[in-house]
Structure formats: structure tokens, C-alpha cells
Amino acid sequence: MTIYSVFQLEEWFERYEFEVDHLLGSSSCAGMTMEELCQITGETVDFAGSSLGATPGPGSDELREAISTWYKKGAPENVYITSSSTEAIFLLIESILSPGDSMIAMFPMYPALYQLAEDNGTEIRHWHLRHENRFEPDLDELKELVDDTTKLIVVNNPNNPTGQIMLRDDLQHLVHFSQEHGIRLWVDEVFRGITVDGGPVTPSIRDIDSTTISTGSMSKSFGLSGLRVGWIAAPEEVLEALIHIRFYTTVTAPVMEQKIATVAHRNRDKVIGRNQAILDRNYTYLKQWMGKRNGVFDWVEPKGGPVTFPKFIDSVNTDDFCLKLAEDYSVLVPSGNYSFNAEGFIRIGFGHSSGFEEAMSRVGDALNQFLK
Ligand SMILES: Cc1ncc(COP(=O)(O)O)c(C=O)c1O
């Protein structure tokens, strides 16, 4: 049996998520009620009249159709609904990789995207987003990471935790590189549609090349993390390869959650627009807050998504700092060291619907005390 590593980021959330006043480190946009979703979209979900029978394994026709329209050349047959994108990650890793293979993984990145593969015997080669390069990916470095064992490149765009993005030219380059070496390319696009400071929207990798894989989620840009609905958009042979594994996990996604996700997807612009407005407001405050702390953080501003990864200028034990924040200030922020193997950083999320300023003010108080 696979011995699974401790998923430190998620364990940190599990420990404090429902205890603290402020979930400042979250990478999800602010949650909403059913009522708010109906108000924003102008639609209702017919709960009483809906069948509670299961949908087909790849998901309900209506949700697959709604999601497929987010991809320029998308067809419902290429969309496979999962119970959260965490399940999508599991299925892809299990179906694509075998012990002895190697995989190129952007780093830092949401750990599930590579840790599971490593636990299964795949060698992980980090493609670094370096702070000293303002987290810009260096495409030349890819050449040093590839050999005959390399089966997969995994990228997260926009990236969690750095907020770095890849735009069309760089993605095109990545597609050429993976094609040249016969490697499958997978981009986790759970933050798709969210911009920072009026910056560009990241294109989907599948709008550039149809042999690639894109994964998405209702949790992040949509702010509907309780639905636990995600998806894979991929060539049919990739989907066929994971179906038999899916019979051992959830078989199909929950029916009512898919209905709600369908309403949200049919009204993507309105739902993501609601979250973007919250993010923009909080980001304006965050910039001012950071501006007053130039001597504390060497901050590379994010370019996409709802999180940022400031680095302390002085050597600070971020594990201790984040523990203090949680225990004494009731604010949850993941430590870069503990959660992402990146020493000296903390991750801040700015998707809060209320209380963001109060949470940041508590971080300021904690800093004053901790750095004395
Ligand atoms: C980049 C990334 N991908 C996937 C996930 C998993 O999201 P979910 O399982 O809620 O769809 C997360 C969660 O934080 C994430 O940050």
C-alpha cells in the first residue's frame, strides 16, 4: 500500500479552520448562501422536483455542457465531473504515472499536485519559481529537468501560493516543449478568471492545445467550496484511462451539487464578478498595508488568483509566527516553511467577504509583538 505523506497545508487548516475568527490564509473566494447565489444568477434550483438518482459517471449532461462552453473548442465529451478537484488530481496522478517515472512540477505549488505522485514512487523534479526572479518561470530551466523517464509536466496557473501567472506566449512555449519531448502537459486552472489589480486573465491551456489537460474547481474562483465539485477537461483517451480507478473512489459526483454548479457555471461572469469585486477591494487595502511594511517584507505582488506569498526580509521562524497568529490572534495563515517547503514566507489570501481589514490589523499587531 502507498504510505501517504502528511499533507501539512491541509492538516494546518484542519486544525484551526473552524476555530479561528479569520481564515486569512484561504485560497478560496468568499463563500455564499444559496440565497445569494440565486440572487446573483437570477436562477433558482428546483430542489423539490429534482430526482435524487445518480448521474452518469462522467457527470450530468447539463453540467458538462455548461463547463465545456468555458473552453473555446470545448465539447461536453471532453469534460469529466469529479467530486472536487482533489479527486481529479488523484485520478490523473494514479492513471498517468507509474513507479520509476519522473514528473516536472512547478514549485512552490499546491502540494497535492506532486506529493501524491512522489508517494507513489514517481521522481519529482521541481521547476522553480524563484523569489529572486520575482517568481517568473524560467522556461530554459525545463531543458535540464527532462529525460526519457519524464511523463508529465504539472503547472498551476495562476499559481498557489505565489500569485504568479503564465500568459499565452509562455504557455505556447510550454506546449511546444512538452510536444517536442512527448510529455503530457497538465495545468491546474482552479483560479481561472480571477485577476489582480486589473491585470490580464490567464488563458486556458486547452484553448492553446487540445492534447493538454486542464483541471478546474467550484471551490476557488466560484467561492463554492462546500459543493465539492471539480472537473477534468482532457482528450478522451486521458479520461478513458481513469474511469476504472474512479469506480474505487466516488463513481460519480453528487447530483444536487452538480445542479447548483450548473447554475453557477451558466452565470460564470456574474458569480466570478461578485468574487472579483471582493478581491479588488481587499487587494487595495493589502497594498496599503504592505506599503507600510517595506522594511518587514520583500513582497512580490501577485498577478492572478486570490493568494500572495510575502517573504520576510529578516530571518523569521514562520512556523512559530503562524502558530502565534492562530493561537493568540485567532487568524489562520499558513507558514511557507511548514506548508510549502519554502522557508521565510507566509501565504495570505484576500478573498474574504468581511473582516479582511480586521484580520490584517491583527497580523500587524502580531508582527509588532513577534519582531520586537
Ligand atoms: C491549486 C489547487 N488545486 C486544487 C485544489 C483543491 O481544491 P478542491 O478540492 O476544493 O476542488 C486546491 C485547494 O486549495 C488548490 O489550491
User: What CATH number does residue 323 fall under?
Assistant: 3.90.1150.10
- Shared domain for 248 and 280, answered yes or no, is no
Residues 221 and 308 in one domain: no
Q: Kindly state whether residue 43 falls inside one of the protein's structural domains.
A: no
Average pLDDT over residues 164-180: 98
How many angstroms does the Cα of residue 313 sit away from the middle of ligand 1?
29
Nearest CA to ligand 1 atom 10: 219
Tell me the C-alpha distance between 137 and 197, whole Å: 21
Q: What is the pLDDT of residues 157-166, one digit of tens each?
A: 999 999 999 9
Residue 276 lies in a domain: yes
Q: Is the CB of 225 within 6 Å of ligand 1?
A: yes
Q: Are residues 108 and 218 in the same domain?
A: yes
- Which residue range(s) make up the domain with 22? 8-33+270-370
The contacts of residue 137 (CB under 8 Å, 6+ apart) are 106, 127, 129, 164, 166, 170
Q: Within this chain, do residues 79 and 190 fall inside the same structural domain, yes or no?
A: yes
Say if residue 111 is in the same domain as residue 188: yes
The whole-number pLDDT of residue 244 equals 96
Q: How many domains does the chain have?
A: 2
The shares of helix, strand and coil residues in the chain, as percent rounded to the nearest 5, are 40, 15, 45
pLDDT given at position 74: 86
Which of 14, 80, 85 most suits a substitution to test ligand 1, by most atoms within 8 Å of the C-beta?
Answer: 85
Say if residue 142 is in the same domain as residue 263: yes
CA 190 – ligand 1 centroid, Å: 7
144 and 190 share one domain: yes
Tell me which DSSP letter residue 45 carries: -
Q: Considering the chain, what percentage of its residues have pLDDT values greater than 90? A: 98
Q: What is d(CA 53, CA 367) in angstroms, rounded to the nearest whole number?
A: 53
Tell me the per-residue pLDDT of 23-55, one tens digit each, with 9 for 90 and over. Answer: 999 999 999 999 999 999 999 999 999 999 999
What CATH number does the domain containing 120 carry? 3.40.640.10
**pLDDT at residue 59 greater than cutoff 90:** yes
Question: Could you give the CA distance from residue 82 to residue 91 in angstroms, rounded to a whole number?
Answer: 9
187 lines ligand 1 (CB under 6 A): no
Select from 7, 160, 190, 215 the residue to mutate for testing ligand 1; criterion: most ligand atoms less than 8 Å from CB.
190
**pLDDT value of position 144:** 97
Cα distance between residue 319 and residue 369, in whole Å: 15
> What is the pLDDT averaged over residues 298-313?
98
- Cα 86 to ligand 1 centre (Å): 6
List the residue whose alpha carbon is closest to atom 14 of ligand 1.
Answer: 27
Ligand 1, atom 15, residue with closest C-alpha: 110
**Residue 221 near ligand 1, beta carbon < 6 Å:** no
Boundary of a domain, candidates 234, 267, 300:
267
- Residues 114, 107: Cα–Cα separation, whole Å: 9
